[in-house]
Chain A
Amino acid sequence: DAKTTQPPSMDCAEGRAANLPCNHSTISGNEYVYWYRQIHSQGPQYIIHGLKNNETNEMASLIITEDRKSSTLILPHATLRDTAVYYCIVKDTNAGKSTFGDGTTLTVKP
């Protein structure tokens, strides 16, 4: 699996968009980008994933650069409940395991 690099922490004002970057410069052609988040004292929760096209669901949007070497998770209107650690993972969907890095601790402030 390709390695990812994320900033260790970010702050965001409540109601604003939170943009969380992830670098994955060694991603290969068959690897997807996945995002999970972990709210304190809970197990990680799936958010979104994509291959090369931008994706949007009820939780977030995922923007993947054309060269696929980086991506951005966007929470369009952050709430206090979005405070969590956000993990970016790249993996082949057929691969058994996922490797979670340190993630980004997002703190949403009122």
Chain B
Amino acid sequence: DVKVTQSSRYLVKRTGEKVFLECVQDMDHENMFWYRQDPGLGLRLIYFSYDVKMKEKGDIPEGYSVSREKKERFSLILESASTNQTSMYLCASRAFSYEQYFGPGTRLTVT
């Protein structure tokens, strides 16, 4: 079975802190994605990566950056967390042209 894991299920950070969200997949997938999910707004794509060291902006990249140094790991970085970044963050991975597999999500609260 494909497994996508995220470093934390729940995270509480203070405004201005630097936040790292880690995602690891074990199926050698080329593509990895970071989404955020908010009530009434659905899933919104932040960034995605189609190869090591490659990244593309999604629909809402502002305030975020990403890192993909190894194929299995895709990190989402909040350089200076703000309260409007309180959300559920979902990571997904996908082989070249097939379905996405999602992690369990990280619920981030910025106070």
- Which residues of A come within 8 Å of B, CB atoms? 34, 36, 41-46, 49, 87, 93-94, 96-103
Which 8 interchain pairs have the tightest Cβ spacing?
A43-B102, A93-B97, A100-B43, A46-B99, A102-B42, A44-B102, A96-B50, A43-B90
A96 to B90, CA, bound (A): 16
Enumerate B88-106 residues with CB–CB distance to A below 8 Å. Answer: 90, 92, 96-105
* A42 x B99 contact (CB < 8 A): no
A54 to B31, CA, bound (A): 27
* B99 x A49 contact (CB < 8 A): yes
Partner of B31 from A43, A44, A96 at Cβ < 8 Å: A96
A-B contact count (CB 8 A): 50
In the complex, chain B residues whose CB is within 8 Å of the CB of A99: 45, 59
Interface centre among A34, A42, A46, A101 (most CB of B within 10 A): A46
The DSSP consensus for interface residues of chain A is loop
Identify the closest chain B residue to A94 (Cβ): B97
Partner of B58 from A44, A94, A97, A102 at Cβ < 8 Å: A97
* B50 x A46 contact (CB < 8 A): no
Q: How many residues of B contact A (CB 8 A)?
A: 25
Identify the closest chain A residue to B35 (Cβ): A100
A42 to B50, CA, bound (A): 24
Interface centre among B42, B99, B104 (most CB of A within 10 A): B99
In the complex, chain B residues whose CB is within 8 Å of the CB of A87: 43
B25 to chain A, nearest CB (A): 12
In the complex, chain B residues whose CB is within 8 Å of the CB of A103: 42
In the complex, chain B residues whose CB is within 8 Å of the CB of A94: 96-97
Question: Are A97 and B45 CB-contacts (below 8 A) given A42-B105, A44-B90?
Answer: yes
* A42 x B56 contact (CB < 8 A): no
The verdict on B74 contacting chain A, using a C-beta distance below 8 Å, is: no
Identify the closest chain A residue to B4 (Cβ): A43
A31 to B83, CA, bound (A): 37
A17 to B58, CA, bound (A): 36
Interface centre among A34, A43, A94 (most CB of B within 10 A): A43
